[in-house]
Amino acid sequence: MEASVERLVFVREDEFTIARMTAEGGPGFIAAGRALAGVQPGETLRLTGEWGEHPRHGRRFTVTACERVAPATVPAIRAYLGSGLIRGIGPRLAHAIVGHFGESTLHVIDTDPERLREVINIGPGRQAQIVQAWLEQKSIAALMLVLQGFGLSPLLAAKIYQVYGERSADVLATDPYQLIGQVRGIAFGIADRIALRSGVPERSPQRIKAAIVDRLESAGVRAGHCFLPLTALLAETAELIDQDRALIRGSLDALTAERRVVVEALSGQSVVYLKEQHSREVALAAQLTRLLRAKSTLLGRAYEEDEQLHDDQRAAMTLALTCTVSILTGGPGCGKSHTVRAIAAAVRAMGGTVTLTAPTGKAAKRLSELTGLPAMTVHRMLARAEPDDSPDLFSELSPTQADLIVVDEASMLDLHLATRLLAAVPTGSHLLLVGDSDQLPSIGPGNVLADLLNVEEIARVRLTHVFRQAAGSGIIQAAHRIRAGELPALPGRGGFWFEEVGDPGKVAERVIHLATVAIPRKQNVSPDKVQVLCPMRKGTTGTLEIGRTIQDRLNPARDEIPEHWSGASVFRPGDRVMPIRNNYDKNVFNGETATVAAVLPQDRLIRLTTDDGRSVDYGFDELDDLTHCYAISVHRAQGSEYPFVVAPLVNEAGGVMLRRRLLYTLVTRARSWVVLVGQREALHLAVRQLGSRRNTGLTRRLQT
């Protein structure tokens, strides 16, 4: 039968989709199935399947096959154009266009679009916008058919078109391997399936090179490695494509000659870098060497020590004011922020200038609150350091021109950001890196803070004295025990609590109840003061499942309020979201948070209000760059602090994510209360397991 999509009800991660449909002249009904993946409200579909009964939805049509067709009736055409599928046409304009052209509307748009100007409120600009959006939709629909022929998800079509536009079909036909890393959701496996079914030979150099690069890129994304040992790279690539290692080695030599990878001797073994990772690591070592050897701009100036500082805090102040590069590290409650405030005050008293910065917006805001001084993100500092074209002689100095630059939460610095940061620090300025070396390393490749702590020539102080006002905190007590490899006192006290629940399904239910009902009621706060942190992304206790359930309870769908599904995520006004990629054009950065102010189907965008009050638009084709905040990973929470934290702790997937650093980072994100819910054996495992080391060469480069 043929039916039109009214709205999406639910989309699962495996693309199983539930939609409300209407057939011509009939009542609305529910249709469900993976064959509906990628359908949008307003589309007309030819469905194959069978009727059945569902315990929750009642009579339901289970779809086994789905084909998109052009809407033929006036109501269907009006619904199609008014759904927001064609950018520039909203419900009111759709009514006017269809009222003018009737059943010929789509034929006019397709073959004689100049006639659109016959409709009131459509000028040359609006007409061009409508035609462009119409052509995009046709191209994406054609791409969907091509992808379905390869047995791939039609959801990839819009993502491919966003990157390659009208060249998309040619790229799929001639070099699908270039999709890897360019199109979100396409890794080697998908590109390889397209290539092999298109006739690319299994032993093709193009294929083998793509596999080698994929293994190196995957090592950076999956484990934060900057390189792979040669033997490991050859083994992983051979396993991926089932080819002889000698053949792979030949393609690796070709990649080396093309300067796409670098093979280097390290600690008695050959290792392989992607060229950009090698260049960054070499550049970072060179910038550090430049700063370490520089003559200080502060040296020789008199300063007064803060008598209230502990001995190790005074030692940190001395190093920060006399060494051009120094590190201040230590656990919670040891006074890192107070020490930074004292150091900054001393520099300003000496007539110097200070810039405080951190990798994320929340970390910068927290640094400012703790020190009482203004702070900014590293990204904003670097953006303000870029020269502009204005000849304003009275403009403020760049924040990188300070005598002292303090970088808090330095464990979050990956290789790329650290390289850009240090390149912007002037010779002679002092750089103070502040962080907890026992926290998780950066999301991106590298382990910068830990690598620098392994270089004896770099001055450092580790604060170990826990101050009395912090010593009574159950959170801080638990954190220090976890850092030492000891189990916290159970079930807990003074802000730390462990609630034992054996069944993973019940763990999720309990976490959701605590976050949405129990803690807000007991503490008399709104649910947005409670943050759920999850070790895993998938599974019953992962961010996806728990986050979606919390969203449906706190911000459910409402018929009169527009919403938009992007893959398995739905965006509604009022949702709290977080960019997961830096976007310099929008001036938003990874880790900042914002609220969805509006969903605008006719413009095919959502409008955000950032925490600092700015309005930012994201197109429907850009929503992969956002994640919801209802439940986030521990990695995403780094640099942030929340009044109340709730976290599931279960031994799913063999406990692969349960590591001491992860648990330590999780616990230290809470200001007042942290509640861990789950299995006692999972807690034991997390305390016991240290995790693997990252492959980096920065320490060796600095030592040599």
Quote the strand ranges of 319-403, DSSP E.
Answer: 325-330, 354-358, 375-377
- Span of 2-11, 140-149, 257-266, 279-288 with lowest mean pLDDT: 140-149
Q: What spatial distance separates the first Cα and last Cα of the chain, rounded to whole Å? A: 72
In this structure, what token pair is assigned to residue 248? 């792979």
Mean pLDDT throughout 230-242? 97
Strand order in the sheet with 576-579: 615-619, 605-610, 594-600, 576-579, 626-628
* CA gap 186, 160 in Å, rounded: 9
Mean pLDDT throughout 545-552? 96
Pairing mode, if any, of strands 269-274 and 261-266? antiparallel
DSSP string of 141-206, one letter each residue: HHHHHHHHHTT--TTHHHHHHHHHGGGHHHHHHH-GGGGTTTSTT--HHHHHHHHHHTT--TT-HH
| Residue 267 pLDDT grade (very low, low, confident, very high; cuts 50, 70, 90) | confident
- Tell me the one-letter amino acid at 238: A
Q: According to the model, what pLDDT value does residue 389 have?
A: 43
Q: According to the model, what pLDDT value does residue 394 have?
A: 34
Higher confidence at residue 24 or residue 238?
Answer: 238
Q: Is the pLDDT of residue 387 over 60?
A: no
Q: Is the pLDDT of residue 391 over 60?
A: no
Share of the chain above pLDDT 70, in %: 98
Pairing mode, if any, of strands 594-600 and 605-610? antiparallel
Q: Is the pLDDT of residue 316 over 60?
A: yes
Higher confidence at residue 286 or residue 380?
Answer: 286
Q: Give the domain 294-385+398-468 fold.
A: Rossmann fold (3.40.50)
> Which residues sit in the known binding site for ATP?
333-337
Q: Is the pLDDT of residue 141 over 90?
A: no
- For the chain, the average pLDDT equals 92
Mean pLDDT throughout 575-587? 90
**What is the pTM assigned to this prediction?**
0.90
> Which residues sit in the known binding site?
333-337
CATH (residue range 205-277): 1.10.10.2220
For the chain, give every domain's residue range.
1-68, 141-198, 205-277, 294-385+398-468, 473-555+569-578+626-692
* CA gap 572, 310 in Å, rounded: 50
Q: Alpha carbon of 378 to those of 110, 356, 413, 438, 562: distances in Å?
A: 49, 9, 10, 22, 36
Q: Give the domain 473-555+569-578+626-692 fold.
A: Rossmann fold (3.40.50)
| Residue 395 pLDDT grade (very low, low, confident, very high; cuts 50, 70, 90) | very low
Q: According to the model, what pLDDT value does residue 704 have?
A: 84
Q: CATH topology of 294-385+398-468 equal to that of 473-555+569-578+626-692?
A: yes
Neighbours of 568 (CB within 10 A): 17
Asked whether the beta carbons of 534 and 546 are under 8 A apart, the reply is yes
Residue pLDDT, tens place only, 155-180:
899 899 999 999 999 999 989 999 99
Higher confidence at residue 140 or residue 276?
Answer: 276
Q: According to the model, what pLDDT value does residue 602 have?
A: 86
Residue pLDDT, tens place only, 108-128:
999 999 999 999 889 999 999
In this structure, what token pair is assigned to residue 266? 């390290």
In this structure, what token pair is assigned to residue 551? 């969203």
| Residue 634 pLDDT grade (very low, low, confident, very high; cuts 50, 70, 90) | very high
Neighbours of 388 (CB within 10 A): 8
| Residue 148 pLDDT grade (very low, low, confident, very high; cuts 50, 70, 90) | confident
Q: Is the pLDDT of residue 468 over 70?
A: no
Residue pLDDT, tens place only, 5-44:
999 999 998 999 999 999 877 888 999 999 999 899 999 9
CATH 2.40.50.140 fits 1-68, yes or no: yes
Asked whether the beta carbons of 639 and 668 are under 8 A apart, the reply is no
Neighbours of 369 (CB within 10 A): 12
Asked whether the beta carbons of 434 and 378 are under 8 A apart, the reply is no
